[in-house]
Structure 1
Amino acid sequence: MLYKKVKMIEEEISVIGVGCWNFGGDWDSTDDRKSVDIIHRAIDLGINFFDVAPVYGWGHSEQVLGMALKQGRLRDKVLIASKGGLLWNDAHETTNNLSKKSLMKEIDQTLTRLQTDHIDIYQMHWPDPNVPLEETAEALEEIKQAGKIRYVGLSNFSQADVERMRKLTPVHCQQSLYNMLERNTTSYHGIPLEYRTEAEVLPAVRKHGQAFLPYSPLFQGLLAGKFHSGITFSRHDIRNENPKLVGPQFERYFEAGKKLKKLADEYGRPMNEIALNWLRQKPEVTCIIGGASSIQQLEQNIHCLTWEIDEEMMEKISEIIAPFETL
């Protein structure tokens, strides 16, 4: 395993992390026993970073991660990054809520599900235009002083709001959508994004010494080379809600994916490893938040660390993904 160190976080962080969204049951092929085995194997292989959120599986993903860490007495071996500020009702309709009252309640629910007395990084999942940043920062400071969190992160925030928040409380990391085909993209699952990752977020994290956690590094499977002839998800799979995978935009991304797959075959490298290496060779990228639905898939992701993209391959990749710099 390779590790990276940033100024604002004390610990070294594994370059490959585990994103726990699929452990919650929102994706196809989810099984709790298998999820626990993946978590245990990841730690055996040197991964020390797990990214989760209450909304993943409506609390279930946090429960699975907590169960896995308790079974192996592994809590002290890992950094847990969870999130706050995204609530849901019985119909699984979500609302953004970064109010102090809500966050103070949410953090305790998260700690209970994770079976721990603290999480390492508490990330505000999405901005809440109805709550002043001052109120959110006040809540985070109180939660930190109570020993329930160690670091603060912002996910999907504009850089203007990040700078405002930095004046109220330290911001130790940022998490944004970023992969070869979503570099400065304007939306995620149809949700407008108020940041441009490559143009704005990367320079900011470099300047401030923050950790940067790119999510969806494999474009929810497209950059893993899975979708050779189109996509068919079960009706329960949350990826059905991504218009880039099931809507009129899909063909554009699918064609680029086929070109990248052809390039991968020419070099004799798995497509997923190319996508992950493209990210990890960027100095601003601290830990790649990637999901794994099997131990084999986890090990395949980690194998990307055994080689690097050379200049020739990088030039060919750049030609294919150039049209996506501003999409």
Structure 2
Amino acid sequence: MERVVIVSARVGAGHDGAARELARRLTERGIRVSRVDFLDLLPGRLGRALCGAYHRQLEIAPRSWDWLLGALGSPAPAAAARRFAALAAPGLAEAAGDTQLVLSTYPLATHAAARLRARGRLEPALVAYLTDPSVHRLCVSRWADLTIAPNEIAAQQARAFGAVRTLVTPPLVGPAFRPVTGTAERARLRLAHGLPADRPLALVVSGSWGVGEVERTVADLVTDGATEPVVVCGRNDALRARLERAGLRHVFGWVDTMADLMRACDVVVQNAGGLTTSEALATGLPVLTYRCLPGHGRANAAVLDQDGTVPWVRSPDGLGEAVRAALATGPVTSMAWPVEVAG
């Protein structure tokens, strides 16, 4: 039986979400899949420290992430990041074992595998899966046999950064994310989640960590009044507590039934997370980007706005207009995802 190793990282939910869906699809085809976490391949407690530092940075000084991503686009800092990634190479070599394919959904994992490939210590094919609509230089390695992109703009960016071969495919979304079947299902789901039956609902999502200007987004929606906010705080318990103290009625923490919650709502307002956008569009919901995260959030927002998939709303007044337009348009009934192989 063929064996594939998928390397992800528990840095937010996007990389793990893609890895999980890849594993499900490959397993259905009779392929033996092993999943490993890049952070666990680093020596000692370095992986935990890296994850914690990134989380704190987004919570405390999110604008510094903009600066750091910009710096990592320069040759010297990018080379330093690749050297750091190489610390995970010995563990990855052991995990790869007798596999036929290493599939990475996390940039630093891609570079750990690339280090092995460059030194002749990785025989399996290497595939890099890009989880975001936009591409940073650090996401691409010329040692990857194939780079999979979620849209043609991302594929073009990857080729500009040296990707040898690219494939454009629809973003990976689990089968639970499907459009609502009708008013009866929506009414049932609203009742199950304690949501009002007779009001348009805006689902506010800010990733598994609940970071960003969530409270200001909620306040802007409340002021506008066209929809009632339904907020998912992920694992940010402090954010959830603050919103509940402020009197917001529909606040959730970590949600295992996100597909059901999406089908209960009318529009998604998010801060440029790739996974959330893909899931919402697969569910048939119109999506808006608002008060997006610095760094990759803004880069994703620009690409999604450019290709006409998700409008990037830049002001509170614009938010009200965009929400009303989304409600008037209704469910997204079809998405045109290009599929192309390019050299």
Structure of greater Rg:
2
Output the TM-score relative to the length of structure 2: 0.34
Output the TM-score relative to the length of structure 1: 0.35
